[in-house]
Amino acid sequence: MTILSHDQWKAIEPGHRSLWGDLRGVSFSQGWIDAGGIDTRYLHSGDKAQPPLILLHGVGGHAEAYIRNLGAHGAHFSTWAIDMIGHGWSSKPDHDYEIEAYIDHLGAFIDAIGAEKIYLSGESLGGWVAARFAARYPQKIERLVLNTMGGSKADPAVMERLKTLTTQAATDPSWDFIKARVEWLMFDKQDATDDLIASRQAIYQQPDMARTVEHLMVLQDLETRLRNLLTDAEYAAIQCPTMVLWTSHDPSGPPEEGARIAAKIPGAVLKIMQDCGHWPQWEKPEEFDRLHLDFLLGRG
């Protein structure tokens, strides 16, 4: 299997970087699974006889958040990057999405793939969902990674910025608005490639997306967010080995926030990636894959 290194990828002219280039040499499949009545789109890599690993994206995101990590993780796990309920190309029921909706969807997806116990990694909103799921169903989780996770606090400035950018992108899915939303994720704005922007633009141009984004953004309303925040008791209830992964330039909070979260989870380890924003798995995939796999495989 031959995969471009990050240096090779960065050397390509920005306008010529593509998701297909990221997948060069990677054996993967795309499909849809009925998860509790939600037609759930997934990207999968790896032998399904291997331990299952589920990767959860952030709010307004989609499975492509992990497209640069599928090959490395598929070598060790039956790796599933999914579009969560209301996101990407999965079903979008006409109701607000508080954390309970994501918990129910994740549980239904686990049942749909026939897994009894999984490895779980979530970024941003995905980390919020993953942490609550692990606290509630400790018997189902082998190891847990919380990557620039949400759900630990309510920062009105960050919430308003995220809500504004996402709503603009959905109500007017023009190139500039989508680009601004994707660039918000990145420390180096060149990592917001044309192909990634175009992929998200196609998602946001779906006829029901403007309505759906109103449902997605409820967690950026202060009252709703406060009743969904993770509690100290929930952090303490996480029993599996856990890694909190943060970055030097995460727009949702400084590295100290990652340290604060890690201190609440029994035995959790903290790793900080430098010169990354909110998507370290995309921005520095080789470093992320090494840290992530070392932890998931119990190598360090």
Q: What pLDDT, in 10s, does the model give residues 23-82?
A: 999 999 999 999 999 999 999 999 999 999 999 999 999 999 999 999 999 999 999 999
Mean pLDDT of all residues in the chain?
Answer: 94
Q: Is residue 38 part of a domain?
A: yes
Give the type of residue at 176: D
Total number of domains constituting the chain:
1
Is 195 within 8 Å of 19 (Cβ atoms)? yes
Q: Is the pLDDT of residue 300 over 90?
A: no
Q: Is the pLDDT of residue 21 over 70?
A: yes
State the pLDDT at residue 2: 45
Whose tokens are 């990557």? That residue is: 147
Q: Is residue 40 part of a domain?
A: yes
- 78-82: strand order across its sheet: 29-35, 38-45, 78-82, 52-56, 118-123, 141-147, 242-247, 269-273
Q: Is residue 37 part of a domain?
A: yes
State the pLDDT at residue 52: 98
State the pLDDT at residue 18: 87
DSSP symbol at 35? E
Helix (H, G, I), strand (E, B) or coil at 51: coil
Q: What percent of the chain has pLDDT over 90?
A: 90
Q: How far is CA 171 from CA 41, 200, 201, in A?
A: 23, 13, 11
State the pLDDT at residue 6: 58
The confidence band for 137, taking pLDDT boundaries of 50, 70 and 90, is: very high
Q: Is residue 29 part of a domain?
A: yes
Residue with the bigger pLDDT between 251 and 16: it is 251
Give the type of residue at 192: A
pTM: 0.94
- Ranges of beta strands (E only) in the chain are 29-35, 38-45, 52-56, 78-82, 118-123, 141-147, 242-247, 269-273
Q: Is residue 239 part of a domain?
A: yes
Report the alpha-carbon angle 66-4-84, nearest 5: 10
Q: What percent of the chain has pLDDT over 70?
A: 94
Residue closest to 265 by CA, chosen among 145, 121, 155: 145
**Per-residue pLDDT tens digits for 248-276:** 999 999 999 999 999 999 999 999 999 99
SS (H, E, C) 172-202: CCCHHHHHHHHHCCCCCHHHCCHHHHHHHHH
State the pLDDT at residue 17: 74
Q: Is residue 1 part of a domain?
A: no
State the pLDDT at residue 4: 53
What is the CATH classification number for the domain harbouring 91? 3.40.50.1820
* Host domain of residue 179: 6-296
Calpha distance 216→84 (Å, rounded): 11
State the pLDDT at residue 1: 43
Is 175 within 8 Å of 201 (Cβ atoms)? yes
Q: Is residue 190 part of a domain?
A: yes
Q: Is residue 69 part of a domain?
A: yes
Phi, psi dihedrals of residue 101, rounded to the nearest 5° = -65, -40
Kindly state the average pLDDT of the residues 240-248. 98
